[in-house]
Amino acid sequence: MESESPIETKKGKSKTPRKAKESILKQKSPAEFFAENKNIAGFDNPGKCLYTTVRELVENALDSAESISELPVVEITIEEIVKSKFNSMIGLVDRERVDEELYDDYETAKAREKRLAKEARAQEIQAKNAALGKKVKESAAPKSVKGRGEASFYRVTCKDNGRGMPHDDIPNMFGRVLSGTKYGLKQTRGKFGLGAKMALIWSKMSTGLPIEISSSMMGQNYISFCRLDIDIHRNIPHIHLHEKRDNKDRWHGAEIQVVIEGNWTTYRSKILHYMRQMAVITPYAQFLFKFVSDAPDKNVTIKFARRTDVMPPVPVETKHHPSSVDILLIKRLIAETSKQNLMQFLQHEFVNIGKSLAERLIGEMGPEFSPKLAVKSLTDQQIVRIHQLFRQAKFDDPSGDCLSPAGEYNLRLGIIKELHPDMVATYSGSAQVFEGHPFIVEAGVSVGGKDVKQGLNIFRFANRIPLLFEQGGDVVTRTALKRISWSSYKINQTQDKIGVFVSIVSTKIPFKGTGKEYIGDDISEIASAVKSAIKQCCIQLKSKIVKKMQAREQQERKRNLSKYIPDATNAVYDVLKEMAKSHASKKKRIEERDADILQNVSDQLITKETLKEKLTQHVEKVDYEMALEYATQSGVNEEPREDMYLQSLYAKSNFFDFHSPIFVFRLFQ
């Protein structure tokens, strides 16, 4: 048997097969993972990166202020940095191009000739249309070819009046991924717990510049200033400067400044839309948004004023419901618990397990379990048995006391403040449960308004933050489009300007997709609650719309009656005149009361003008009586409205709030 010969190449030289390189076990840090998969955290492209950075900073600012029950004041500024300014910031000297053909935006002579010919044809067509008197579209400015390396840079600054951060914790709070104060089972605004850390990672990837943090806690006489970036491979902060500065104004809060690559042009509307929706769901906050550019016509300044000083309660951390835990979580709770035996562990670490229920559960687990069994000595098999029983046993649903919905009052105020609708209805459902997690659905439906398009305008909120992307698959969108019969509530789905607002709060929002931008339609409990909330709003609106239609019909009747007054006057007066002539010649016997009227007609005491005046007065009287009845039914006082003066939002007083869906009664001590 012949031995195998090496593979022959065309040149006749032998080629030995290449040996596979030995694989080496490598490990990635959390920062490195998110840097390579930044789209998971909403950093898909430069424009989305700018939007997500703004969103993360604003939400952190709100959380910080609300945690100390301070009415939030948030200032967000986006400053455009041109390439030359950016280069000077990093100490890079601008160079003129030497080899033009090397660049991605290089235009060949043939391509330039083709472009100019196309522009000339377009101008010729426009000239012909203008000569024929046709409407001429304004020609768009010729687009400059932007190369892949031609980037736009922005300095994003967010300042708040919140809690601030301890001086020594600042480096780890910003420079160490998956470390923070928001972890635990409670309602939170964040989606991943990354916050400004992802903005810092993107800054390091796109500009290489560090983040700057100024912070001061209430009562501190100094401001902590920190300039740092992140060591992505080791997931630790790299501190450039960390010092204490004088706090003469006794300011408290945080100011974060980061320079990133972005795209304002493509995401301008999304960022402004986000700020507007945030003002709807948090009317107790004051926002000042600025976009600053070297080109004055691009500058934007919008102030979203505070409308109320009634804040929702701060969300409370809660314990796990037995039906929502898995084996891994049970093991973690056992490792972290301070309780010694199984009885104490079940009562302390889970909601809705009292002493009697814990005894029954332990009895059901088997003979190897006892109330005094050391919880740290549980075997893997015993933990699996506990998990199986948790899944099969019946437990009371968790309460919604740990949740912090916006509240009907705030939702209604936010809608009125930003949309100025003709009418609005709101509804707040009771706490419900899915997979052991409590949730509350609040809804608002408005008709009419400012800057509202015809048809359905859907606004979605999850844990009091707006959701702007991937709307089509969301449970709110599908419910509003497919499961609500708008016509049965006297609402025209295509012609009316309809605003649909749905806010869902929970200890666990069941987001779909890697970007966590929408709530799936596959959880029946949430889908049913959303449908019910929207329908309750529609029922309220229907009664208002019906009353409005009745008032419109009444006005139409008045117009019709008024229109026929001249003809009716002439006809009645002519009949009276003929009857007066007959009475004068005594051809007909007439009752005394009628005879007096006919005599007045003969004596010119009753004329066409007096008859017309009486008919007009009668129509007005009937209209007034009907209007008064309508006002009584609608709860509207016929007296003119008086001015009402409210106490300043900034005054410091002791008071109690009594909440109602449409108002808050405040009792001052």
What is the chain's Cα-based Rg? 36
Interaxial angle between packed helices 46-66 and 196-206, expressed in degrees from 0 to 180 and rounded to the nearest 10: 150
219 labelled as ligand-binding?
A: no
Q: How many CB atoms lie within 10 A of CB 533?
A: 26
85 labelled as ligand-binding?
A: no
195 labelled as ligand-binding?
A: yes
- With contact defined as beta carbons under 8 Å apart, do 368 and 381 qualify? no
196 labelled as ligand-binding?
A: yes
60 labelled as ligand-binding?
A: yes
3-class secondary structure per residue, 545-570 = HHHHHHHHHHHHHHHHHHHHHHHHHH
Cβ burial of 631 (10 Å; 0-12, 13-18, 19+) is middle
Strand partners, 289: 76, 302
190 labelled as ligand-binding?
A: yes
Phi, psi (5° rounding) for residue 606?
Answer: -110, 115
229 labelled as ligand-binding?
A: no
191 labelled as ligand-binding?
A: yes
Phi, psi (5° rounding) for residue 522?
Answer: -100, 0
160 labelled as ligand-binding?
A: yes
What does 309-325 look like in DSSP terms, one character per residue?
---PPPP---PBPGGG-
Residue 457, token pair as written in the block:
């305008």
Q: Where do runs of H (alpha helix) occur along 196-337?
A: 196-206, 264-281, 327-336
Element (H, E) at 578: helix 524-584
CA–CA gap between residue 308 and residue 442 (Å, rounded)? 19
- With contact defined as beta carbons under 8 Å apart, do 474 and 460 qualify? yes
Q: Where do runs of H (alpha helix) occur along 157-252?
A: 170-175, 196-206
CA–CA gap between residue 645 and residue 438 (Å, rounded)? 40
Residues 6+ apart with CB under 8 A from 324: 435, 436, 437, 508
94 labelled as ligand-binding?
A: no
**Side chain identity, residue 517:** E
181 labelled as ligand-binding?
A: yes
Of 405, 38, 28, residue with least CA distance to 194: 38
291 labelled as ligand-binding?
A: no
Binding-site residues from annotation for ATP: 60, 160, 181-182, 190-197, 516
Binding-site residues from annotation: 60, 160, 181-182, 190-197, 516
